[in-house]
Amino acid sequence: MTSENYTCFVYGWIALAVIIFFVLMFVTAPYGRHTKKTWGPLIDNRLGWMLMEIFVLLVLFWFVFTGQNQQSFTNLLIISFFAFHYFNRSIIFPLRLKTKGKKMPVVITLMGLTFNLVNGFIIGYYLGNFKIYDREWLSSIPFITGTIIFFAGLTINWWSDGILIGLRKYGESGYKIPEGKLFHYVSCPNLMGEIIEWCGFAILTWSLPGLAFFIWTFCNLVPRAISHHKWYNEKFENYPKNRKAVIPYVI
């Protein structure tokens, strides 16, 4: 694939993200608390998470290490950031879930898998064929700033996931109002953390595929957070009225 074709593909992928954003503002993806049997066959939700997330690493590594670039130390460090997130998301996070017997639609698993396959391709192909970051990049303002933002977002995401998982004991079902840390300000700090994380990745790579991944994350998770926030307010009469959905004091 030429550089021009690759660039056109990524811009098309970004345009699709914007379309999906407006679709998701009206159609709530039916998984988690929004699961619906009307969306076809169901699969164990932990297995679904693993299948959705693990293949992004396989695709990423394939294109990185079969590409024409000789990977630099900085490239490998950037790849490790990406892999660190997705190892947690594909292996550790699903195993931490206390949702035995809970299901998600197979179609949602396949949609998430497709999303991750494309993102693994655009980032892996970029690093495998077009971009070699030298060691000087490690001391650049974008890399330092982006790395701080990336790990700040990752920390917020993990903290918030931990609070949500801790609300339910093994064998329990149902939902409770989450409290503590950034839940004081928003209903979905876990999603906010992930948005911050990939904003940091876009900055630290200062790249078109990094920007595309951030835009997709924003367009996917902001509507999701709004749906969660609406659900919380409808389910709990005593739900805190001062909370926003995903961005404190804004959304």
Q: Which residues contact 216 (CB under 8 A, 6 or more apart)?
A: 13, 14, 17, 20, 115, 119
More confident residue, 3 or 32: 3
- Each residue's pLDDT tens digit, 194-221: 999 999 999 999 999 999 999 999 999 9
Lowest mean pLDDT among 31-45, 115-129, 158-172, 225-239: 31-45
CA distance 214 to 131: 19
Residue 176: per-residue pLDDT = 80
Residue 100 predicted with pLDDT over 70 = no
Residue 66: per-residue pLDDT = 93
Task: Give, to the nearest 10 degrees, the angle between helix 141-166 and helix 73-87.
Answer: 10
**Structure letter (DSSP) for residue 128:** I
Lowest mean pLDDT among 86-90, 101-105, 133-137: 101-105
Q: Whose CA is closest to 29, among 240, 248, 249, 219?
A: 219
In this prediction, residue 109 has a pLDDT band, given cuts at 50, 70 and 90, of: confident
More confident residue, 81 or 179: 81
In this prediction, residue 50 has a pLDDT band, given cuts at 50, 70 and 90, of: confident
In this prediction, residue 32 has a pLDDT band, given cuts at 50, 70 and 90, of: low
Q: Kindly list the domain boundaries of the chain, sorted by start residue.
A: 3-235
Give percent of the chain above pLDDT 70.
Answer: 91
Query: 224: how many CB neighbours lie within 10 A of its CB?
Result: 20
For the chain, give the mean pLDDT.
Answer: 88
Letter for the amino acid at 169? K
The stretch 138-154 carries a mean pLDDT of: 97
Tokens of 215: 């835009």
Residue 189: per-residue pLDDT = 94
pTM: 0.89
